Structure 1
Amino acid sequence: MTSVPEAPSAARRPVLRSHHGDDVEDAYEWLRAKDDADVRAHLEAENAFTEARTAHLAPLREQIFEEIRSRTLETDMSVPVRRGQWWYYTRSIEGQQYGIHCRAPLVSPEDWDPPVLSPDITVPGEQVLLDANREADGHDFFALGSFEVSTDATRLLYAVDTVGDERYTIRVRDLETGELLPDAIPDTFAGASFSPDGRHIVYTTVDEAWRPDTVWLHEVGTATSDDRTLFHEPDDRYWVGAGFTRSDRYLIIELGSSITSEEWLMDADDLSGQPRVVWPRQEGVEYSSSHAVVDGEDVLYIVHNDQALDFELVRVRADDPQGPREIVLAHEPGQRLLGISTFRDWAVVAYRRDGLSRLATLDYLSGAPTEIAFDEDLYDVGTAGNPEWAPPMIRLAFGSFVTPSTVVDIVVATDERRIRKQQPVLGGYDPADYGQRRVWALAEDGTRIPVSLVWRRSFGEPGEKPRPLHLYGYGSYEHPIDPAFSIARLSELDRGVVFAVAHVRGGGEMGRSWYEDGKLLSKRNTFTDFVAAARHLVQNGYTDAEHLVAEGGSAGGLLMGAVANIAPELFAGILAVVPFVDALTTILDPSLPLTVIEWDEWGNPLDDPGVYAYMKGYTPYENVRDGVDYPRVLAVTSLNDTRVMYVEPAKWVARLREVGADALLKCEMSAGHGGVSGRYNSWRERAYELAWIFDVLGVAQD
């Protein structure tokens, strides 16, 4: 029998932190020195210990991986997207980690029905634009941050990250010769694009704190030293991005903090000029604009929250955006307006109501929206793959906990729905075998918290008897966790595990007030809401504390660390993925990536003693308690993560070990915030996490 090594014990090397008269000795802050040999040795020791402690799960991990693989159509093709005179799509090939990006010519200019693709049939005229498997060869990590074909279809730009730190190098390929052009632009942010004439590339770079702060213009074929700055934002609170309107009429430069935004316009056919502001920034006002042509006049449709908590839609003249505002969709409390996608003849509006995503088509002349209805109680829907300016139909992506992801084209004039593809699930999947529903928990202050459930019906209805339950949560940045389908999740449901999502405050499920009630000095609501959801599930017989595992990632990892401190008795296990568990230390340091930007979300503890005291009261690392029987913990992180640095979970696990907790740390040494790259690697990573969850829940291996 193989002996398990002792858990690594990080050396205590106290570093003094002093703010607002409060002196704190941080014993493990030295782990932040990423390139220090002792730090690397400690992380390797943690990985070895975790591998030894979970070695007995290797057969189960392999079984889960094979379940995911066997349910997935490995050789497959995406639904083609029309742009110009080409259909663009991606092939996946069995045994290959990454997609192969392809295109094929239209049969005729009037052809709006995409070809029905088959993996074993060559499409007439097919061209391979980029084989990501070849590009990734020799690299442990590979990710695309930009991918775009010029309007005239003769050039491809793509940007690659082979480390995981989200710093991309842009390359340009001549699609007529297949040759790479000499252009190579390193250290860019994601989201570069060609100008409509294909002569220029607009891209963004970051500052020392990993904040996108400068928009550049590069002329293809020239030296990067000649690139011109289009826009620079010196205020550390704002991110900057840029993109061309669907109409190719304007370049829109976008600035945003968590609470304030500003946009600048440039004529797309004259990027030598100066950008002009749409609306000058006003603290607390967010807006986004989209170009359209109505009665021959260039207009901007602007979604904003100026005196409109859940946002409203107005229309202004593009040449006088600060002039009169025509209200198109008035503010409606409780219905959170998210955005608008404008096309030549109509627009699509996205919004949320009753905790679900919604879409409606909008007639320009009448201003009347027509909601696109669906017949499931829980679902997620959004627009997808609509680059053309004047299509007769709109493409949507629809799915739910039980309905695999479905691509639907809707003919706007007739409301005819054409299902282009539904995600294949091999092995005889039947959605009728599974159920989904929403229940409501009561928070400490009486607020009703929605909790969404999905389960396999053959094990009985939830609540009939306690079942193993996997509870997921996030609750930050107004980001909703919507009911989406997952092949990997079937491995849980088919073992009798109920999967649930607690839609806690701080997220975006229930409108802007739902978000505001879970941020800044109301952040504790996020944590107590999750605890209330867990208690509701236990008290109403859905599960019990011995069979309840919680999971969250990134800011959801902060949630995991907080609830482990608040109510450790409620959970058998905590899975924290790239967890933001040393929040106060990070938010106190403006030199770290994202810190200043994050002050709008969490508060500024550097200058405000009240915020400092509030954050110190909940940040997980600083609130680990002696004499507490903590649930089992698995923290998963990545060495090259620039968003939540590996040091946070490393310190947290070290502190948990001090108080006797059963805590494991798994650090990917060649990955970033999104974890490993490549679909097979991702499946193995999820199989690893699910095997640990099943072990905690006592779910028997088949």
Structure 2
Amino acid sequence: MQPPLADRRPTTREIHGESRVDDYEWMRDKESPDVVAHLEAENAYTAARTEHLAPLRQRIFDEIKARTLETDLSVPTRNRGHWYYGRSFEGREYGASCRVPVTDPDDWTPPRPAADATPDEPALPGEELLLDLDQLAEGHDFFSLGGSAISPDGRLLAYSVDVVGDERYTIRVLDLATRELRDDEITGAIGGAVWDRAGEHVYYTTVDESWRADKIWRHRLGTTQADDVLVHHEQDARFWVGIGRTRTDRFLMIAAGSKTTTEYLVLDADSPDAGFVVFAPRVEGLEYSLDHAVIAGEDRFLVLHNHTGADFELGSAPVAPTAPDDWAPLVAHDPAVRLEDVDAFAGHLVVHQRSEGLTQLRILELGEQGVGDDYLVEFDEEIYTVASGGNPGFHQPTVRVGYASLAIPSSVYDYDVRTRELTLLRRAPVLGGYDPADYEEHRLWATSPDGAQVPISIVCRRGARDAGPIPVLLYGYGAYEASMDPYFSIARLSMLDRGAGFAIAHVRGGGEMGRHWYDDGKLFHKQNSFTDFAACARHLIAEGWTTPERLVAEGGSAGGLLMGAVANQAPQLFGGIVAAVPFVDALTTMLDATLPLTVTEYDEWGNPEADPSVYACMRAYAPYDNVVAMDYPPILAETSLNDTRVLYVEPAKWIAKLRATATGRQDFLLRTEMSAGHGGVSGRYKSWHDRAFSLAWILDRMGLADTTP
């Protein structure tokens, strides 16, 4: 079967003295029959070219399914008078959310389900169904729950759903006593809803035409959306907004932020008539976040900020507008420790931080005199990821902790601050006799051309390298200060058990090594992300981990930009490249301020329309602009038609240009989900099939398609 050859329909734009000719910009019109026909032809070609992998895809899907406990229950989380948890059921895509009453107010030990509970039986005594997600998804090709929030009195549930994939949600309110939906319906929201303390209003966020979250609204229950009150409208096109409620329930907070600057507006529920008040006015380059704490009997705001240093300091301030110079330090700035977040509880504070590329949880105990003992929750493994979550109760004495590594399945602990004991509540089951000891994981360090030491996290079956180099999948991202910390994956076992390794290149542009790691991989320093990734590949080859023919690279979204750049700059290092929803036509996107997210991205990539030097910088690395006549490794590009973050047209144009320009193998595939968004398909079984497709292609590139675990 011959690959689809897209028509060349040149468009020309004069920009900074250069005539920029684009043969495939016509593909941007997704309503065009020509565009739809081309995408469908690409899908047909991809299906034909990968037909021989269908048995392998099915085996991988069956392996994922066999290792997964399909009927399961999450660890219950206590909030006010109930324990909340999620249930999954064999044969169902989405599952359900449930709750049971708290029977002993002094007991913070989560209840355990009956071992023999069937899907049609309560998992715990007194179980109440909140949402049946499979029922909500019925009749839709795509379904996503944006968020759910219980009213303060526990009687109403506000939830939001997206059935298209464009991340525009509809909010509904369910009466939990009658199981009836109230007349309230809010369309066009992003994410979920936030209740006020009285339970009479919900707040929500909407986006503008460029998909920027710009407005906060207040909806009074029992009224129509047309009657909703606009609480805040962010006029600066670089900023987006969101709203939340503090764990103490006293304050509602609106956060307005760009990539480099933040500003908080605060509403005191004790004085609601005062309205939202700015805590500290925005100053270019000043970033901060707020939480409410009670320290030594005094109400204080916790301010996590970069006023005194790039890696942030934790300070405190009165619960009133306060200038940065008056933020009293609680945890001083340390260039070796990046402070990322803080959670306030009645008896302690939990600081999320990272050092030497590893995440850490720091406890600050509170007493009558203020902050007392200050220490880390310790773990033994060489590489791991730890975070707190599911901690809604201000007065709870425990901290719910999530933990995982490349070999250790996701684990849930409770850390009791009173006794300093860490109790394992649950480790995600992996059926079939899985033992983490059968795998080895390491932290390696590659040297980039400018001398930067780039961390690599890698896992493989124990002893896999004894016979020499092994195939390796090298994953990377490198943008937005997002850290790609080690994580466990059941699907990945289908690759590891066939003799391959999996590695994460923690390249600059991410946040793994502190704020400088991010700053050194954005704007005019973006090239560092690409050279770091290539350096990691070369290190794995030089140290005998793998060979270029059996090394496959993978990245998605901004990581897809990384994939496109290394395909142009270092194609000889890879036997295959997977680019998921890839930002490969970055220059075209950043030249169009009307496209979703462009203006808010100027602080990440620069403004090439206004600044010739930014244009020249992006022009030098943008993957689509730098496709040349050379032999590229095999490439699989995956996208979704309804993606609002990275439009489908970027990979579609990229593959078309590769086919028209590249020499040699010309082994390029484009797969477009016609009913999905940026996160791909919805539903766990659909997502397993989706991942099985990619893994089968990867194993084929590695020469492992005919192997068995």
TM-score by length of structure 1 reads: 0.98
**Matched residue SS, 1:607:** coil
8 A contact 1:265–1:275 mirrored in 2: yes
Which residue type is aligned with residue 635 of structure 1? Answer: A
Q: In the alignment, what sits opposite 2:326?
A: 324
**Greater displacement, 363-372 / 173-182:** 363-372
From 564, 567, 577, the equivalent of 1:564 is: 567
**Aligned CA distance change for structure 1 residues 179 and 548 (closer, same or farther; 3 Å):** same
Unaligned runs of 5+ in 1: none
| Match among 83, 88, 92 for residue 88 of structure 2 | 92
Deviation at 1:293, TM superposition (A): 1.3
Q: What SS does structure 2 have at the residue aligned with 1:160?
A: strand
1:223 matched to 2:224? The reply is yes
* Equivalences for residues 142-541 of structure 1 within 5 A: 142-269=143-270, 271-322=272-323, 324-364=326-366, 365-366=370-371, 368-460=373-465, 465-541=468-544
Structure 1 residues 169-193: Cα deviation after superposition (integer angstroms, max 9, x where no partner): 0000001111000000000011321
1:368 Cα shift? 4.3
Shift in Å, 1:367: 5.2
Distance 1:667 1:118, change over 3 A: farther
8 Å CA contact retained: 1:76, 1:119: no
**Maintained 8 Å contact 2:173/2:184:** yes
Separation in 2 of the partners of 1:98 and 1:321? 45
Please give the alpha-carbon distance, in whole angstroms, between the structure 2 residues aligned to 1:118 and 1:587.
54
Residue 579 of structure 1 is matched in structure 2 by: 582
Which of 199-208 and 410-419 deviates more? 410-419
CA-to-aligned-CA distance 1:180-216 (integer Å, 9 cap, x gap): 0000000001132111221110100000000000000
Match 1:117 to one of 108, 113, 120: 113
Cα offset, 1:417, TM superposition: 1.6
Corresponding residue number in structure 2 for 1:107: 103
Question: Structure 1 617/449 Cα, relative in aligned 2: closer, same or farther at 3 Å?
Answer: same
Distance 2:45 2:186 in 1: 41
**Residue aligned with 2:26, SS:** helix
Separation of aligned partners in 1, 2:270 and 2:585: 47
State the 1:472 CA deviation.
0.4
Question: AA paired with 1:151?
Answer: P
* Mapped contact 2:279–2:320 kept (Cα < 8 A): no
Equivalent residues of 1:300, 1:321 under 8 A apart: no
3-state DSSP of counterpart to 1:240: strand
Q: 1:319 offset after TM fit, Å?
A: 2.3
Stretch of structure 1 that moved more, 207-216 or 271-280? 271-280
Residue deviations 1:144-166, cap 9 Å, x none?
11211111110001000000000
CA deviation vs aligned residue, 1:505-555 (integer Å, no higher than 9, x gap): 000100000110000000000000000110111122111111010000000
Which letter does structure 2 place at the counterpart of 1:542? W
SS at 2:311 equivalent: coil
Tell me what 2:39 maps to.
43
Please give the alpha-carbon distance, in whole angstroms, between the structure 2 residues aligned to 1:118 and 1:233.
50
> Partner amino acid for 2:654?
W
Partner of 1:625: 628
Identity of aligned residues (%): 55
Q: Deviations over 1:556-605 (max 9, x none)?
A: 00000000000111101000000000000001111000000100000110
Alignment CA distance shift 1:465-1:157 (3 Å): same
Measure how far apart 1:124 and its partner are. 1.5
**Partner residue, 1:10:** 6
Deviation at 1:697, TM superposition (A): 0.7
Are the equivalent residues in 1 in contact too, given 2:317–2:326 (CA < 8 A)? yes
CA–CA separation in structure 2 for the residues paired with 1:321 and 1:668: 49
Shift of 1:331: 0.6
Deviation, 1:118, is 3.6
Cα deviation for residue 270 of structure 1 reads 5.1
Rounded Cα–Cα distance in structure 2 between residues aligned with 1:237 and 1:338? 22
Q: CA deviation at 1:271?
A: 4.5
* 1:227-253 C-alpha deviation (Å, 9 max, x unpaired): 111111010000100000000010010
Residue number among 690, 698, 705 corresponding to 1:693 in the alignment: 698
Q: Distance in 2 between matches of 1:299 and 1:700?
A: 59
Whether contact under 8 Å (1:520, 1:600) holds in the other structure is yes
**Counterpart position of 1:639:** 641
Which digits, 9 at most, give the CA deviation of each residue in 1:111-155, with x for residues without a partner? 211111146432211111100000000000000112111111100
Cα deviation for residue 347 of structure 1 reads 0.8
Determine the C-alpha separation between the residues in 2 that align with 1:369 and 1:42.
60
Amino acid at match of 1:60: L
What is the CA–CA distance in structure 1 between the aligned matches of 2:273 and 2:231, rounded to whole Å? Answer: 9
Structure 2 Cα separation of the partners of residues 664 and 156 of structure 1: 44
SS in 1 for 2:490: coil
Matching residue's letter, 1:181: R
Q: Distance in 1 between matches of 2:166 and 2:150?
A: 25
Work out whether 1:589 is the aligned partner of 2:592: yes
Structure 1 SS opposite 2:491 = coil
Offset of 1:325 from its aligned partner?
Answer: 1.9
Work out whether 1:68 is the aligned partner of 2:73.
no
Cα contact 2:263–2:280 (8 A) shared by 1 = yes
Letter in 1 for 2:600: I
Could you tell me which residue of structure 1 aligns to residue 548 of structure 2? Answer: 545
The alpha carbon displacement at 1:700 in A equals 3.6
Q: Secondary structure at the match of 1:145?
A: strand
Unaligned runs of 5+ in 2: none
* Structure 1 letter corresponding to 2:350: V
Q: Deviations over 1:315-358 (max 9, x none)?
A: 10112433722111111012101010001121100100010000
Cα deviation per residue 1:36-58 (whole Å; 9 max; x = unaligned)?
Answer: 11101111111011001001100
Deviations 1:51-97 (A, max 9, x none): 01001100000000010000000000000011111111011000000
Counterpart-to-counterpart distance in 1, 2:399 and 2:228: 37
| Offset, 1:226 | 1.1
Q: 2:695 aligns to what SS in structure 1? A: helix
2:114 and 2:188 map into 1 onto residues whose CA distance is 38
The equivalent position to 1:662 in structure 2, one of 660, 667, 670, is 667
Q: CA RMSD in A?
A: 1.1
Amino acid at match of 2:12: L
Aligned residues: 695
Q: Is the 8 A contact 1:562 1:619 kept in 2?
A: yes
Q: Write the distance in 2 (CA, Å) between the matches of 1:368 and 1:632.
A: 55
TM-score, length basis structure 2: 0.97
The one-letter amino acid paired with 2:7 is A
